[in-house]
Structure 1
């Protein structure tokens, strides 16, 4: 890069090693900022699609589901008999400061389709035993109103399920279906809406979507770092010409 007068008796004289470090670093930061800006557009479109999907009227869950993805986050209804004797417990977030579980109960479908795992919602720890909430163990045929959800895969920060444990750490339709002795199970979990269990427990699940959208913040951070590095690079290499002897 040629030297250029900058005023006030200073010249811009960049060193080779600083240039070899700064130019690639700035390009990488600009690339990451642009990638985050593209992710922001994608995330906004995704949030809009999810909101439209969840606002659709409830529809009966098909007996056969070849591709479960289009049903994820859709309001659905499903009818059949809840197999309370095969219910399972799932780790849940504390509710109003109280520790508890979510109750997952297989539903034997009335239309002959594979059983569906129904997440009937939260119960406090002292109601873990079904005998303490008999009112909620309704028999006979019922129709569940809820939201179909694809089980999330295990993440590197989330411990996976432990075979044989009393409490599941995450929903897994295949493993939970096998543990319940079901010959076949639908690839989706239906999260039951609140107000459907006699006695109020399990409490159901309010429709929930965890879609954090921090891409604008990330893009601003990367662009700011690139600009800061450029300013430091220029200021560091502004030098006064040597005085003549």
Structure 2
């Protein structure tokens, strides 16, 4: 091993320490050594107040119950709106039959579910069908000899939609004549029900039906109809975009069974309100613990 004289080593160290750059480096090392001091609190911990953090958590925890109670109150408002709507529809369906506003068709926009009296003739050659459809028998005697027993679990039939030429204006609208069984869908199977000439009957004004969930879209070019889209139907058959449901009293022996108007307005808002209020109460109880 090579031996280095002690005097030479001392001189070398003295020279290095006297160098200004080395002195500066050593000073910075000493000054910055405090950042590695485990006993010195960090700046982040110094800025966090435990009471402030607790207050923040409390505010965040209140969000869920407040949201639950707010949604519950909103559902109660929706319940009131839906109840008023159903009452309006019920009252309208009980009103006296009015003449069909043939000279002012725009009135029909605000007359859904109103009963009107129409006069004209059916254009049977252009009838089409919405299917499958279950028969609807609200308020009728199912034991009537003219009305076969209802079987909600049987094969659904169809609703017959027929263009109708109004008298005296000549306007052509659409009429839902009613329900037929699967064996009576084709017109050849119910010729006695294909009434000819001018007729007068009561009907219910209808608007376009919202496509139900899980129901296929209509295919007009193939004449496949699964729900009531009045605009599509009118364009396909060259009629006015107006549809009325023939009342039950319009039914004739061998023809479609009228009175198929359903009021499809679900009113589940009370159930939803209870659900959201329960969520609000449960989360508030958890927040208080």
Q: What TM-score does the superposition give when structure 2 sets the normalisation length?
A: 0.70
| Higher mean displacement: 80-89 or 160-169 | 160-169
Specify whether residues 207 and 90 from structure 1 end up closer, same or farther in structure 2 by C-alpha distance, changes over 3 A only.
closer
**TM-superposed deviation, 1:155:** 5.2
What does 1:205-244 correspond to in 2, within 5 Å? 205-235=259-289
- Name the residue aligned to 1:177: 234
- Name the residue aligned to 1:68: 108
CA contact (8 A) 1:81 1:107 kept: yes
| Higher mean displacement: 73-82 or 226-235 | 226-235
What does 1:1-245 correspond to in 2, within 5 Å? 19-63=58-102, 64-95=104-135, 96=151, 97-154=154-211, 157-180=214-237, 182=238, 184-185=239-240, 187-235=241-289
Structure holding more strand per residue = 1
| Secondary structure of the structure 2 residue equivalent to 1:168 | coil
| Secondary structure of the structure 2 residue equivalent to 1:199 | coil
> Using the alignment, how far apart are the partners of 1:83 and 1:159 within structure 2?
27
Specify whether residues 92 and 62 from structure 1 end up closer, same or farther in structure 2 by C-alpha distance, changes over 3 A only.
farther
Structure holding more helix per residue = 2
Runs ≥4 residues deviating over 6 A: none
> Using the alignment, how far apart are the partners of 1:22 and 1:169 within structure 2?
48
**TM-superposed deviation, 1:157:** 4.3
> Using the alignment, how far apart are the partners of 2:57 and 2:160 within structure 1?
60
| Secondary structure of the structure 1 residue equivalent to 2:83 | helix
Structure 2 segments unaligned to the other structure (5+ residues)? 1-52, 136-150
CA contact (8 A) 2:164 2:175 kept: yes
| Secondary structure of the structure 1 residue equivalent to 2:105 | coil
**TM-superposed deviation, 1:214:** 1.4
CA offsets 1:193-234 (integer angstroms, 9 cap, x no match): 124243242111244212221111211111111111111222
Structure 1 segments unaligned to the other structure (5+ residues)? 1-13, 236-245
